């Protein structure tokens, strides 16, 4: 994706990250070195004091110590989980709550929130470590690599409540057409190219399908239909015309409900609960 290459190059010279590289170089006494024009690998062999693994970790540490470059919310998440790693989730801000019972309740709520936002923290962690790798590679070779695909726009399959779900995510740098193609590809890979779809007839008859699923008898469902659409039936319920029209609707309704149930089985693997 061209966006990966474009932003992968620009990010190395951004005001947020280029100073980090110069700070790391200064720590090792490397001056008059121009990232992007020179390669650290070319001088690392001559400088025995340069531990490349340590250089990479220094870059990561700098990024971790300046979480505000990612915005207020990610910075707060990083702060919370730094406390967690230090076994210090006491949230000193809670000391301003005078009622000890309320303070304990809020503390418990914050611990719960911490669990809820943990996936976000893991995502941020992946970005920070990925950035460290990206900047280190740039410093080492003088060439910027492409950014990971997932940082721009991605479509993938996840499991949610025991069901396969295909999700697409993109930021403003992504090409929505490319992300759409990825989504369709992953969707077909997961669920197949031939899909059972909900039709207009299903949508129009949702109430009757729901009644059927809840155990209502077919004849009762048809009676509801007749009440809602009296103009479709003769007024005199004792005539042969009315009985024929009602019988015809019973047959149509049975066919429609049967098809709807089959469609639900195809989509979800389960149908109605009506025997």
* CB-CB contact of 257 with 212 (8 Å): yes
Token pair for 217: 């008898």
* pLDDT for the residue 45: 59
Residue 49: its pLDDT value, please?
Answer: 66
Give the alpha-carbon dihedral of 102, 106, 111, 116, to 10 degrees.
Answer: 140
CB contact at 8 A, 4 and 130: no
pLDDT at residue 261 in the model: 87
**pLDDT score, position 149:** 80
Q: What is the DSSP letter of 35?
A: B
Residue 199: strand, helix, or coil = coil
- pTM value is 0.58
Residue 207 is predicted with a pLDDT of 92
Nearest to 134 by CA among 1, 16, 27, 33: 16
List the pLDDT tens digit at each of the 275 positions of the chain. Answer: 688 888 888 888 888 999 999 998 888 888 778 887 777 877 765 555 678 889 899 999 999 998 888 888 888 888 878 766 555 556 666 666 777 787 777 777 777 777 777 888 888 888 899 999 999 999 888 888 888 887 888 888 888 778 888 989 888 888 889 889 999 999 999 888 766 677 888 888 899 999 998 899 999 999 999 999 999 999 999 999 999 999 999 999 999 999 888 888 877 765 555 54
Contacts of 186 (CB under 8 A, 6+ apart): 155, 156, 157, 166, 168
Q: Check residue 257 and give its pLDDT.
A: 92
pLDDT at 229: 94
pLDDT for 5 equals 87
According to DSSP, residue 232 is labeled G
């Amino acid at each position: 994706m061209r966006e990966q290459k474009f932003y992968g190059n620009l990010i190395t010279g951004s005001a947020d990250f280029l100073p980090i590289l110069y700070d790391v170089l200064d720590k090792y006494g490397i001056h008059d070195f121009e990232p992007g024009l020179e390669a650290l690998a070319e001088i690392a062999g001559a400088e025995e004091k340069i531990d490349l693994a340590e250089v990479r970790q220094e870059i990561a540490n700098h990024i971790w110590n300046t979480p505000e470059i990612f915005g207020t919310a990610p910075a707060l998440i990083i702060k919370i989980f730094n406390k967690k790693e230090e076994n210090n989730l006491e949230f000193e801000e809670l000391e301003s709550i005078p009622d000890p019972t309320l303070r304990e309740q809020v503390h418990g709520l914050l611990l719960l929130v911490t669990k809820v936002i943990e996936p976000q923290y893991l995502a941020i962690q992946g970005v920070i470590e990925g950035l460290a790798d990206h900047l280190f590679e740039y410093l080492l070779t003088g060439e910027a690599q492409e950014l990971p695909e997932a940082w721009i726009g991605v479509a993938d399959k996840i499991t949610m409540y025991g069901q396969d779900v295909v999700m697409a995510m993109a930021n403003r740098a992504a090409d929505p057409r490319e992300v759409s193609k990825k989504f369709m590809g992953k969707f077909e890979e997961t669920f197949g190219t031939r899909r059972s779809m909900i039709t207009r007839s299903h949508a129009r008859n949702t109430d009757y399908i729901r009644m059927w699923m809840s155990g209502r008898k077919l004849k009762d469902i048809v009676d509801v239909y007749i009440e809602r659409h009296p103009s479709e039936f003769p007024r005199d319920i004792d005539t042969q015309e009315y009985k024929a029209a009602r019988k015809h609707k019973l047959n149509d309704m049975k066919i429609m409900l049967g098809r709807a149930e089959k469609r639900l089985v195809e989509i979800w693997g389960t149908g109605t609960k009506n025997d």
